[in-house]
Structures are given as structure tokens and as C-alpha cells.
Amino acid sequence: MTHEARLVELVAEACDAPSYALDTEFHREQTYYPRLGLVQLAWADRVILLDPLAASLEPLGALLDSSATAVMHAPDQDLEILRHAVGRVPATLVDTQTAAGFCGMRSASLRDLLARFLDIDVAKGDRLTDWLRRPLRPQQLEYAAGDVVHLPALWAALRDRLKDRGRLGWCEEECEVLRIRQAASRRPEDAWQRVRELRRLPRRSQPMAIAVAAWRESRAARLDLPVRYVLSDLALAAVVQASPASQTALAAVRGVDSRAMSPATGAELLEVINKARLKPPQVPRNSRGPDRSHLQPVVSLVSAWLSQVARDDQLDPALVATRADLAAFLEAEPGARLGAGWRYERYGSRVEELMTGKAAVALEPEGKLRIEQRSGLPL
């Protein structure tokens, strides 16, 4: 029997289970796309380690498309890898780190969760393990299996805790948002929003930032290189600000490495800059520029209250809203996280009353902030 035929059999078996644990091991230090070294699966009493260097992972697509729920831990990068390697992400998933956040734990590691909920002590992994070298050592295989073997039991314990607190629906909603976000391919036109130096530029510079960052992203993907190998973040921001019109001017920009920026590459970048100058890309309405200074006092106050009330509710404050989420909600941006679902019902609606003058923030004697009905009476 071939490896692929055996994998088809195993996938069919896993599809009949209500859920399965899933994890990956990979490297991406020297490439744009991750290099997948191992895929770990567990369901019922089975633990399967798949070697993507020895056989195609195409049959895995049937499991990802099935009605079985994928149980994963902090799966952002794993989902990106699955989308690249298999062409899809699980149709249904739960994230044990997100679930832990709804139980009041902040960015909990799998090791910490196993110790807390299952009283299992697992050894720390070696961050420098080479998952692409063959053969893999028994210690590596044991560590990889440990990432999935306890996940079903951990999810069962977390699910019971969430049910007791009435938050299972919240968790499932949040996991679906995570799944959908990672199911979509990254658009080069959005790359500039992941670079802090570019987000801080004046709004007039944002069209050029969109164009140059999209060029860097596309070139990195085409060459399968990390984006920093094409142009560092510092050089990227400097090029946007300088908007050079010649090879000489480009070479003089801070951070531009003449060894990496060949004449042909420079000409390609200059053409992008010229096109952006003649026909600037449209800036998204909800792009985050540096024009929110007027909101900072309000954001700071309300953020402090949100952080406090989230801890009182035994929730990870970052799961409720970041400062950026709060600013987006205050500016009524479409899609603001605080404006829908459980966040709005529990927190956003109260912030809304505060912003419309129906409520006020009070400081209690023990130092806690409280939102209460506004009296309108001056001191």
C-alpha cells in the first residue's frame, strides 16, 4: 500500500470522529512561504504524524472539509500553512488558547493549560529543532505527538468551564472569526497596514505606502524570500517618504542596500513609485493613520475601564478589545469588533452610553472605575 493510499484510509477514519486534534511543525526563517516539516493528528486513541516531505498531503483536504471539528492551539500560523500546503483550512475549529482567554487566562501556552486543567506536566520543546532534517529523532517525534495527544481532553475541560459560565457561544463565535480571517489569502495591497513605520506616516503618504509595500510583498512571494530580504521596514518607510525618481536618488535612500537592489530591481521599484505618483492607490476608509490623537484621552480612560471589567469578568482583556479596537469603535468604523456580537452586548453598548452622555465614569474608593448613570449635576 502506498503512503497516499494509507493516508486516505486514515483520513476516512478521522472524518467519522466528532473532532480531531491538529498541529504543524514548520520553518520560515529564510523563505516567504513556510516550509512544512510535519503534520500531527490525533483522534480517539490514535496519534498520527504525517511527513509532508515523503507524501502528498492532498488527501488531508477531505478531513479539513468534513464536519469533524479541528481542535488546535494558537492556530494562526498553522492555518496559514494549511491554506498554502493543502489549499484550505478546517471547516470548523476551536482554539484552546482562545477558550482559555474566555476563562480569564492571557495568551496561555499549551504547557500551562495542560498543567492547570489536566495536571499534566510536559517538557519544554527545543525551539531550535530542525523539522526538515531526516530522519527525525525519537525525541522529536515524541515532542510532536505531545502537541496533539492531550488536546481533545483539554478542549473537553475548557468546554465544560465555558458552558458553566455561559460563554461557549462566545468562544465558538470568536473561533469562527479566526478561521475565516485565516482562510483568505493575504492581499499585497494590505501589507502596508502590517508595518508600524508606514501606519504612522501622514495620510498624504499612505497611497505611496500602499503601492511600495504591495510591491515588496509581491516580490518576496515571487522569489519566496522573507520581505525583509527585499527591503527592510526602515528602508520601506524611507523610500515612501523620499519617493525617489531616479536610480541615483533611490541608492541614496537610507536603508537601501545596493547589493540587494540591483539596477533591474531598482527600475521595477521606480516604475511602481512613478505609477503611484501619477495614479495614487485608493486609501481604505478605515485605514489607521496618525490622526487619532484627539481620541487618546478618551481611549486611555475607557481602555482602563474595559481592562478592569474584563478581569472582573475573568476574561482576557485583549480578547475583549485592544486600544485599536476601541478607537475603531469610537470612530464608528465599519466592522469594529466592539460593535457586534457578544462584545457589543456586554461592553460596546456600555461604552456607547458613555460616549453619548448617558453614562459617566466614576472612581470608587478602592480605586476601581465604574460606569454609572450620569446625573448631569455639576460639583
Which distant-in-sequence residues (6+ apart) come within 8 Å of 328 by Cβ? 286, 288, 335, 336, 337, 338
pLDDT at 1: 39
How many CB atoms are located within 10 Å of the residue 249 CB? 13
Task: Evaluate whether 372 touches 359 at the Cβ level (below 8 Å).
Answer: yes
pLDDT at 246 over 80: yes
Task: Evaluate whether 195 touches 93 at the Cβ level (below 8 Å).
Answer: no
Taking residues 68-82, what's their average pLDDT? Answer: 96
Task: Evaluate whether 321 touches 315 at the Cβ level (below 8 Å).
Answer: no
The grid coordinates of residue 285 equal: 476608509
What's the whole-number average pLDDT of the chain? 90
Q: How far apart are CA 111 and CA 219, in angstroms?
A: 38
pLDDT at 298: 79
pLDDT at 105 over 90: yes
pLDDT band, very low/low/confident/very high, at 288 (cuts 50, 70, 90): very low
pLDDT at 76: 94
pLDDT band, very low/low/confident/very high, at 331 (cuts 50, 70, 90): confident
Name the β-bridge partners of 369. Answer: 363
Q: How far apart are CA 379 and CA 116, in angstroms?
A: 49
Backbone angles phi, psi at 26, to 5 degrees: -155, 170
Q: How far apart are CA 182 and CA 188, in angstroms?
A: 15
The grid coordinates of residue 318 equal: 485583549
Q: Is the peptide bond between 135 and the residue preceding it cis, with omega within 30 degrees of 0?
A: yes
pLDDT at 295: 63
